[in-house]
């Protein structure tokens, strides 16, 4: 097994294209983030792009966009062990790792380090949409909506315990690319939705739905289902397989997604070492 670190997102994406195209759903987050860095829509403090290969064939990937932790792809145990050994030597500040549960479980086992924080999320995909009941009007978010979107995104981050870095820039870039949608009732926005860029591979295109956020005062009225259904249909009309990530311990969200045709692909796990 050999480990390669790439100097840029573009180099990483080119060298790992074949591997990523073999499992585009489960490697979708890595592809999406690396693509956003490559095209300049997202910037971070520093970057680590890794692959582990055997006989010239990529067996696994790891990506870190500082200040965040690592995201790992599916890979065999020997690849996990080799990659983690190299990362531990070359990125001594790395304490956070996320990826398929089987990968992270094995990483925990070989690290022999105490865990101070962990969470799980589920990956879904939709191959056959069961449309939710249409409610209100849905339009694309514009720069005139920036203050509202910024406020709601801050609330969304707080509720989900997600961290934000360069949030204002990320929102402006998402607005510019037309990837925010607002559901309105009588002209008043009541729910926010977004989606990633479409990732195109040979024979398949993939895009991620999210975030989906409804302020507390507007919940339990079907708005999130209607907006998720709308964005899913939009992505499918553009030829993409719609995917999304949701917290494993959020039964409401999981029920909503399953009702409109989302099926479980895998479970991810995130851990933070002491």
The hierarchical CATH code for the domain 125-268 is 3.40.630.30
State the residue for tokens 């409804």: 214
95-119: pLDDT as tens digits:
999 999 999 999 999 998 999 999 9
60-91: pLDDT as tens digits:
999 999 999 999 999 999 999 999 999 999 99
pLDDT at 146: 98
Top CATH class, 2-113: alpha beta
pLDDT at 261: 97
Considering the chain, what is the average pLDDT of its residues? 95
Distance CA 56, CA 68 (A): 29
H-type alpha helices, the chain = 9-15, 17-22, 28-38, 77-90, 101-111, 146-160, 167-176, 223-237, 251-259
Taking only Cα atoms into account, the Rg of the chain, rounded to an integer number of angstroms, comes to 19
Distance CA 191, CA 204 (A): 30
Q: Kind of pairing, strands 96-100 and 57-66?
A: unpaired
Distance CA 255, CA 219 (A): 15
Average pLDDT over residues 231-241: 97
Distance of alpha carbon 38 from the chain centroid: 16
Within the chain, all domains assigned CATH 3.40.630.30 are found at 125-268
Distance CA 193, CA 131 (A): 16
């Amino acid at each position: 097994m050999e480990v390669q670190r790439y100097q840029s997102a573009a180099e990483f994406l080119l060298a790992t294209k074949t591997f990523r195209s073999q499992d585009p759903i489960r490697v979708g987050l890595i592809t999406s983030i690396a693509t956003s860095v490559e095209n300049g829509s997202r910037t971070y403090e520093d970057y680590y792009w890794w692959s582990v290969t055997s006989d010239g064939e990529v067996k696994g990937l790891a990506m870190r966009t500082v200040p965040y932790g690592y995201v790992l792809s599916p890979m065999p145990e020997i690849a996990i062990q080799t990659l983690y050994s190299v990362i531990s030597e070359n990125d001594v500040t790395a304490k956070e790792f996320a990826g398929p549960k089987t990968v992270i479980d094995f990483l925990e086992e070989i690290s022999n380090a105490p865990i101070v924080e962990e969470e799980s999320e589920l990956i879904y995909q939709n191959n056959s949409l069961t449309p939710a009941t249409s409610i209100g009007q849905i339009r694309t978010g514009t720069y005139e909506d920036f203050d509202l979107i910024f406020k709601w995104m801050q609330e969304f981050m707080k509720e989900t315990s997600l961290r934000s870095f360069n949030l204002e820039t990320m929102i402006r870039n998402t607005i510019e690319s037309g990837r925010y949608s607002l559901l309105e009732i009588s002209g008043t926005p009541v729910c926010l939705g977004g989606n990633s860029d479409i990732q195109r591979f040979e024979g398949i295109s993939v895009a991620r739905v999210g975030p989906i956020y409804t302020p507390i005062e507007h919940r339990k009225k079907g708005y999130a289902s209607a907006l998720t259904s709308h964005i899913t249909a939009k992505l499918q009309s553009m030829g993409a397989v719609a995917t999304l990530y949701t917290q494993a311990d959020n039964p409401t969200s999981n029920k909503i997604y399953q009702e409109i045709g989302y099926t479980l692909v895998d479970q991810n796990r995130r851990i933070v070492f002491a």
